[in-house]
Amino acid sequence: MNLPSRRAFLAALPLALAACVSAPGTPAMPPLIDPTKPKRYPRPSSQYLAMYSEVKDGGFTVPAVDLTQVNPAFLRREVSYTTDEPAGTIVIDTPARYLYLVLGNGKAMRYGIGVGREGFAWSGSAVIRRKAKWPSWHPPVEMQARDPKARKWAGGMPGGPDNPLGARAHYLYKGNVDTLYRIHGTVEPWTIGSNVSSGCIRLINQDVMDLFERVPVGTVVKVLERPAASVA
């Protein structure tokens, strides 16, 4: 299924502008985790502790991730991955809550993700037309009307550790039309593996920073409705 047409995008603009923030609602399927109640997992290996350690970046500090709150199945790793997509393509497996960066030769870098809740999940093809470090966030008018905290940022919330878009954002376009969907970081790493956003794809900040360095503007993004590849 293709992404919506320009007319559909414009018609859905008020809703889509709310994308990329956590929102209440019934998930499209039982989430792999409950994003409101962080679970506790075993302490991972030193390799992962180093991978998700504190990072100084752009004048900000990305805190170390408490990996006991993240399902280890969603931590970044290189995997065997069979696909017809060329190297450099991003494939987002929404049902499994994984983002794959195809490396070629049957390999991919796999990242755990949080995905859209019911009514905001989407599928199809898009292209990264813009990338940003520490992006600003602009809450929609509807959100400002119901949330005093959002009204505070009517003019835009500057990038920083508390910004809902996290440390990096990749802006997805269909042709020359901004889909209003993003691949971005999150200040809530315990939500990875769940249906929490309004359609955007969220990664742990350390993961979205890693992805940012690997993919250029022009990267093709394929969003799947169902798993379509074999993974080891």
Q: How many CB atoms lie within 10 A of CB 99?
A: 27
* Catalytic site positions: 184, 200
- pLDDT tens digits along 37-50: 567 899 889 999 99
**Residues written for the chain:** 232
Q: Which domains does the chain have, with CATH numbers?
A: 6-225 (2.40.440.10)
- pLDDT tens digits along 86-109: 999 999 998 899 999 999 999 999
For residue 89, give the amino acid letter.
T
What pLDDT was estimated at residue 199?
63
Is the pLDDT reported for residue 2 higher than 80?
no
Is the pLDDT reported for residue 61 higher than 70?
yes
What pLDDT was estimated at residue 4?
45
Query: How far apart are alpha carbons 97 and 115 in whole angstroms?
Result: 7
What pLDDT was estimated at residue 37?
57
DSSP labels for 101-113?
A: EEEETTEEEEEE-
Query: How far apart are alpha carbons 226 and 232 in whole angstroms?
Result: 17
How buried is residue 55: exposed, middle or buried, by Cβ count under 10 Å (0-12/13-18/19+)? middle
Is the pLDDT reported for residue 164 higher than 50?
yes
Report phi then psi at 214, rounded to 5.
Answer: -95, -25
Report phi then psi at 53, rounded to 5.
Answer: -80, 175
For residue 109, give the amino acid letter.
M
Supply the pTM of this predicted model: 0.81
- The Cα-based distances of 65 to 73, 170, 201 in angstroms read 15, 21, 18
